[in-house]
Amino acid sequence: MSFIGVFDSGLGGLSVLKHLHDQFPHEEFVYLADSQNIPYGEKNTIQLKEIFDHNINCFKKAKGIVVACSTISSLIPKKKLPEIPLFSIIDSLVQTYTQEFSDVENIGILATSFTVEHGAYLNALTQAKLNTNITQVAAPLLVPAIENNVDNIMEIADQYIAQFPNDIRHLILGCTHYNLLLEKFQLHYKRLTIINPYNGIIKQISPIISKEKTDIIKPLVFLTTKYSKNLQNISEEIMQQDIIWQSISL
C-alpha cells in the first residue's frame, strides 16, 4: 500500500486535503478526522503526544503523513518516525511566507491556545531571521464554532482580530480550521493579506508523489473517531463530493 495519510482533530485538515487532492488527483489519500479529541488546541503536551502516537498508528503503511494541524505540528521536532516522512503544516506555511513576503514589517498570527503558548509559529519565523514584528493571538472559541457551524462565527472572529495592532498587514491563519473561513476573512478584513499553507504543503509532498502515468482518479478514504451528521454535512460541502465516513477507535 502506498497512500499519503492526512490527519487533524476534525474538519480543519479537509481544507488541506482538498488542495492536495485537486493538485494530485491520481494519488491515494487517507484522511483521519479525530473528532473524538477535538479541540487539540486546548489540550496539554502529554495528551497531545498520546493523540499523535495513536493517530500515527493508523498510517503505518503510509509513504508519508501530512500533519494538517498546527498544534500537533509544533510537537514534530520531538516526534520523529524512522521510516515514514512527516510533513508539518507549520514548516510549509513558514517556508512559503519567507519566500514570498520577506519584507513585511508587521505580522499577526491567529492560532490555538497551545500553538500560541508554545510559540510554534513565532519561533519558526524568528529562526527564519525575518526583520519583522510579530503579534500572536489565541482564538480558543473559533475551532468549536467552525465544527458546529454557528451563525455568528465572524462576530467571534472579530473579537480576536480586534486584539491585533492596527498596523499589521499580514495575518497567518495558524490553524487549518481557520482556513475554512478563508474567503470570509478575505472579504471581512480587506486591509489584511491572509496567509495559508496550501502552496507550501504541495511543494513539501511533491517528492513522494507517484511518478506512475495514469488517468485513474483515486478515491479518497475518510476515517473518523467520532461520527456526526454535522461532520457529514460540512465535510461534503468542503470536499464537494459524497463522503462515506468509516468510524474507527484509536
What pLDDT, in 10s, does the model give residues 177-190?
A: 999 999 999 999 99
Q: Which three cell numbers stand for residue 122?
A: 513565532
Active site residue 69: yes
Tens of pLDDT, residues 174-226: 999 999 999 999 999 999 999 888 888 999 999 999 887 788 888 899 999 99
Tens of pLDDT, residues 24-83: 999 999 999 999 999 998 899 999 999 999 999 889 899 999 999 999 988 875 555 668
Strand order in the sheet with 193-195: 133-138, 106-111, 170-174, 193-195
Between CA 46 and CA 48 the distance in angstroms is: 5
Contact 17, 6 (CB under 8 A): yes
pLDDT score of 78? 53
Between CA 172 and CA 186 the distance in angstroms is: 12
Q: Is there a single domain that holds both residue 84 and residue 99?
A: no
Which residue in the list 4, 17, 58, 69 is annotated as catalytic?
A: 69
Distance from chain centroid for Cα 104: 23
Instruction: Give the domain extent around 174.
Output: 91-197
- Domain end, chosen from 181, 197, 213, is at 197
Q: What is the CATH number of the domain that holds 242?
A: 3.40.50.1860
Q: Please tell me whether the peptide bond between 207 and the residue prior to it is cis, using omega within 30 degrees of 0.
A: no
Q: Is there a single domain that holds both residue 79 and residue 132?
A: no
Which residue in the list 175, 195, 205, 231 is annotated as catalytic?
A: 175
Domain count, the chain: 2
Active site residue 58: no
